[in-house]
Structure 1
Amino acid sequence: MKFKRKQTEDVSVNLTPLIDVVFLLLIFFMVSTTFTNETHLQISLPEADGEAVEAKADTLEVLIGVDGGYTVNGQSLLNNQPETLRRAIIDQVGDDRKLPFIISADGNAAHQSVVTVMDVAGKLGFAGLSITTQKPAEP
């Protein structure tokens, strides 16, 4: 007796759904990606007009020189390290973090020096930061 063998079906994987999913993921990532345009901005810094306010006796004032050197309430610091600045501020105010914090920077001082002072003040818990300005020269 001769039995008829079953014909085996060709095994194939249908890749169409996989390709659809890959294209959907590609479209999702293309739409959700933010593209940055690297450009250099030309900015002009603001000038401040207003009444001059005298500093109160119970304030903390940090002066930043053109070389990036710090002076805390008239006391010059040995170096420009953030840790030195932090210690000097703590020595001046102790635990009182409610004092007005005034930052006076030279116009040609590096921006990093000002940011360092703001960072140290923020880490110590000062919330009332002020930056001093001067009136623009009259033409």
Structure 2
Amino acid sequence: MRMRRHHYQQDDETGIDLTPMLDVVFIMLIFFIVTSTFIRESGVEVQRPQAESASPQDKGNILIAITGNGEIWMDKQQIDIRSVRAHVERMRVDQPDGAVVVQADEEARTGLVVQVMDQARLAGVTDVALAASAGAR
């Protein structure tokens, strides 16, 4: 009678396969990148007027700053009043339901502020707000 010898082969890989976990991590990373919103700053700091009735607005995604000497800033670059509408339309492609917040300096001309708000509305934005600091003087 012939004896068989059973030779068991040991697998070289006795560890845990991490490939499915890495796949899940990359899918989650892609999901968070696609669904996140990025806040675009206007590019200049202005001295906002104070108001007792000021309240925070959660969805102010497009910021337009107007300085005291009449400069208009969007997306960290100075722009002309004639190009406000085009810039707002371009930024709305990324965030179609975003609101526009106009950050006007205390010394800014009222006429320029109204023109900027009008250009934002002509670009299709229905929610245009004027920024103010909370509290009275």
TM-score by length of 1: 0.52
Equivalent position amino acid for 1:87 in 2: A
TM-score by length of 2: 0.53
- Give the structure 1 partner of residue 77 of structure 2: 76
| Count of residue pairs the alignment pairs up | 88
Aligned counterparts, 1:97-136, within 5 A = 97-134=96-133, 135-136=135-136
Over the matched positions of the two proteins, sequence identity in percent amounts to 19
TM-superposition CA deviations, 1:3-50 (whole Å, max 9, x none): xxxxxxxxxxxxxxxxxxxxxxxxxxxxxxxxxxxxxxxxxxx95225
**1:76: Cα distance to partner?**
1.9
- Unaligned runs of at least 5 residues, structure 1: 1-45
1:62 to 46, 61, 64: 64
Distance (Å, rounded) in 2 between the aligned partners of 1:100 and 1:68 = 22
Distance (Å, rounded) in 2 between the aligned partners of 1:85 and 1:114 = 12
Specify which structure has the higher proportion of strand: 2
* RMSD over equivalenced CA pairs, Å: 2.6
Question: Secondary structure of 1:125's partner?
Answer: coil
- Unaligned runs of at least 5 residues, structure 2: 1-48
Distance (Å, rounded) in 2 between the aligned partners of 1:54 and 1:101 = 10
